[in-house]
Amino acid sequence: MFPKDRWAEAFIRRAEDGADEGLSFLVCAASALKRAPPDASGAAAARAARAFDKALLAAGYREQSSGVEAARALLCLLVKRGALGHADSIIQEIQRLADKKAHILGARLDAALPLSAPFLDALKTSLCRASGAADVRLHVVLAPQLLGGCRLTIDDEMLDCSLSGALASFYNGLRR
């Protein structure tokens, strides 16, 4: 199993106070590198560094913060070790660690139908109040297979208020 938590912790330590900026660049650069054709010549890390530097210049950054430098080093190391495929899981773990440090609650909401902005705002407010978090980062996913309702996941806990969940529970109760 790939140790994404160790890579993420190393990034946070190296990035220091520039972790948010570094994470933003990491997301953009990782996406660009994954679209690039594979490099069989062994110069993949140098290619990654050049692509990253080019993206920084295009964005108007002349000086690199500790976060941007940490992102650059992380991507180069992933490319060199042939582990660029793990970039998304590392990025998710970095986001989780940064949110934890900033007292931001990360949650995923699967919904059968699109939800209104007032509903989502009320849900975020309720989650902040209940958890004591400073803010909530809510990732909303449209999931028609739920048939109706929604499913809220926070860390490893899930609250299933969907029609498909209710039907499955009813079916399992009948089988007993």
List, for residues 99-110, the tens digit of each pLDDT value: 888 899 999 999
Q: What residues contact 172, with CB distance under 8 A and at least 6 apart?
A: none
Asked if residue 60 has pLDDT above 70, the reply is no
Domain identity same for 95 and 108: no
Domain end among 37, 71, 99: 99
Residue ending a domain, among 47, 69, 99, is 99
Same domain for 69 and 114, yes or no, is no
Does residue 94 sit in the same domain as residue 110? no
- Percent of the chain past pLDDT 90, that is, above it, reads 43
Mean of all residue pLDDT scores within the chain? 85
Q: What is the 3-state secondary structure (H, E, C) of 28-95?
A: HHHHHHHHCCCCCCCCHHHHHHHHHHHHHHHCCCCCCCHHHHHHHHHHHHHHHCCCHHHHHHHHHHHH
Residues 169 and 118 both lie in one domain: yes
Indicate whether 132 and 76 sit together in one domain: no
86 and 152 part of one domain: no
Of the pLDDT bands very low, low, confident and very high (cuts 50, 70, 90), residue 20 is confident
Are 83 and 13 in the same domain? yes
Identify the residue whose tokens are 């705002």. Answer: 121
Same structural domain, 71 and 19: yes
Q: What is the pTM of this model?
A: 0.68
Residues 153 and 77 in one domain: no
The torsion region of residue 116 among left (phi > 0), alpha (psi -120 to 50) and beta comes to beta
Residue 119: per-residue pLDDT: 95
Domain check: are 12 and 80 in the same one?
yes
**pLDDT tier at 146, thresholds 50, 70, 90:** very high
- For residues 67-91, average pLDDT: 86
State residue 77's pLDDT score. 86
Provide the domain limits for residue 48.
4-99
Structure tokens at 163: 């029609």
